[in-house]
C-alpha cells in the first residue's frame, strides 16, 4: 500500500458524458500527478499539481482538466468522453514539486461504452 | 523531448533463471532513473531508483540495476527469478530537476513454475 488513494476503482459510462476521478496523496506529500495507461499509448503523464497550483502539463487533452484542493486532494475531470478515453488513470504523489520519487495509487479503470 | 525504450516486450523464463531487462533513454542532460513493477491487477510499485552516486543500485525483492551513462542505459537484473516475479516492468526517467516521469513501453515477464 503506497498511501495514495483513488476513487472510484471502476467507472463505466457512455460516450459524451463527464466523470470525475479523485485522488488523495500520501500524508505530507504536496505534489499530485495524473497519468493515463492505455494499451495503445502506454503510460503517459497528464498533469502535475503542487500545493494547489498547476506545475507541469503533459499530453492532456483540452477535454480533460484537473485541480488540487486546499486539503491537497486532487480531481481529474474528463468531459465529452470518447471510446478512446477508456484507460487506467493513475494518480501519484511526491513530497516536493521537483525531482523526487513518485508513489502511485491503485488507479481508476474507466470504461467508455 | 526525452524518450525511454524497453527493447523486450515479452520475456518468458523458468524459475531460478536469471533476468535482465534492457532500458535506454534519450536525453543529453542529467537524469533520474526508476524501475517500477506492476503485478497483475495492481498498481505501480517502485522497485529501485537512481539519482546519483554508485551506478549499481539495489532495490527490493532482490532486484538491482546498473546505470551506464555512456550507453544511456539502466538495465534491470535479478539473478534468480521466482514465479511471483511475474509482472510488467516499467523503466522511467525524469530530468534531474524535473518531475514528469517518462515511461518506457513496459516488459511483460512471465515466470513459469
Interface test with B, best of A23, A96, A104 (most B CBs within 10 A): A104
What per-residue confidence (pLDDT) applies to B112? 95
Q: Using CA atoms, how far apart are residues B25 and A53, in angstroms rounded to an integer? A: 29
CB contact under 8 A, B99 and A31: yes
Q: How many CB pairs under 8 A join A and B?
A: 58
In chain B, which stretches have pLDDT less than 70? Answer: none
What per-residue confidence (pLDDT) applies to A98? 74
Residue A100 pLDDT > 90, yes or no?
Answer: no
Give the residues across from B96 on adjacent strands: none
Q: How is residue A80 written as a grid cell?
A: 465529452
Q: Which of B43, B100, B106 sits opposite A42 (nearest CB)?
A: B106
Contact indicator for A18, A81 with CB cutoff of 8 Å: yes
Looking at the complex, report in whole angstroms how far the Cα of residue A33 sits from the nearest Cα belonging to chain B.
8
Looking at the complex, report in whole angstroms how far the Cα of residue A98 sits from the nearest Cα belonging to chain B.
5
Interface test with B, best of A9, A102, A106 (most B CBs within 10 A): A102
Give the pLDDT confidence of A21-76 residue by residue, as tens digits: 999 999 999 999 999 999 888 899 999 999 999 999 998 999 999 999 999 999 99
Question: Contacts of residue B92 in chain A, CB cutoff 8 Å?
Answer: 43
Q: Using CA atoms, how far apart are residues A2 and B24, in angstroms rounded to an integer? A: 27
Q: A11 falls in which pLDDT band (50, 70, 90)?
A: very high
A56-A57-A63 Cα angle (round to 5): 145
Q: How is residue A50 written as a grid cell?
A: 503542487
What per-residue confidence (pLDDT) applies to A22? 98
What per-residue confidence (pLDDT) applies to B29? 83
Q: How is residue B48 written as a grid cell?
A: 529501485
Amino acid at each position: 500500500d503506497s498511501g495514495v488513494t483513488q476513487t472510484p476503482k471502476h467507472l463505466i459510462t457512455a460516450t459524451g458524458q463527464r466523470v470525475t476521478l479523485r485522488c488523495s496523496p500520501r500524508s505530507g506529500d504536496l505534489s499530485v500527478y495524473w497519468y493515463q495507461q492505455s494499451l495503445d499509448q502506454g503510460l503517459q503523464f497528464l498533469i502535475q499539481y503542487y500545493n494547489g497550483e498547476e506545475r507541469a502539463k503533459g499530453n492532456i487533452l483540452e477535454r480533460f482538466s484537473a485541480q488540487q484542493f486546499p486539503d491537497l486532494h486532487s480531481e481529474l475531470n474528463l468531459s465529452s468522453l470518447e471510446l478512446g478515453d477508456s484507460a487506467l488513470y493513475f494518480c501519484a504523489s511526491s513530497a516536493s514539486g521537483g525531482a523526487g520519487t513518485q508513489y502511485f495509487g491503485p488507479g481508476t479503470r474507466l470504461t467508455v461504452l | 523531448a526525452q524518450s525511454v525504450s524497453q527493447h523486450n516486450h515479452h520475456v518468458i523464463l523458468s524459475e531460478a533463471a536469471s533476468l535482465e531487462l534492457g532500458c535506454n533513454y534519450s536525453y543529453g542532460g542529467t537524469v533520474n532513473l526508476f524501475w517500477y513493477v506492476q503485478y497483475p491487477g495492481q498498481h505501480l510499485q517502485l522497485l529501485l531508483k537512481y539519482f546519483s552516486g554508485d551506478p549499481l543500485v539495489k532495490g527490493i525483492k532482490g532486484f538491482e540495476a546498473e546505470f551506464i551513462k555512456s550507453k544511456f542505459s539502466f538495465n534491470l537484473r535479478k539473478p534468480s527469478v521466482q514465479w511471483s516475479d511475474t509482472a510488467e516492468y516499467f523503466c522511467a526517467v525524469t530530468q534531474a530537476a524535473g518531475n514528469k516521469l517518462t515511461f518506457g513501453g513496459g516488459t511483460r515477464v512471465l515466470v513459469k513454475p
